[in-house]
Amino acid sequence: MKERKSDMERACKEMRLGVAVDVEKCNGCRTCELVCSLHLSGMFDPYSSAIRIVRPDVHGPISSEIRDGCDLCSGLSIPYCVEFCPTDAVFLTRVP
Ligand code: SF4
Ligand code: SF4
Ligand 2 pocket, Cβ-based, cut-off 6 angstroms: 19, 35-36, 39-40, 50-51, 66, 70-73, 79-81
Tally of domains in the chain: 1
Strand partners, 20: 91
Amino acid at 3: E
80 C-alpha to center of ligand 2: Å?
Answer: 6
Output the domain CATH number for residue 65.
Answer: 3.30.70
Domain that holds residue 11: 2-94
Ligand 1 pocket, Cβ-based, cut-off 6 angstroms: 21, 26-32, 53, 85-87, 89-90
What pLDDT digit, counting tens, does each position of 17-75 carry? Answer: 999 999 999 999 999 999 999 999 999 999 999 999 999 888 899 999 999 999 999 99
| Residue closest to 55 by CA, chosen among 30, 80, 31 | 30
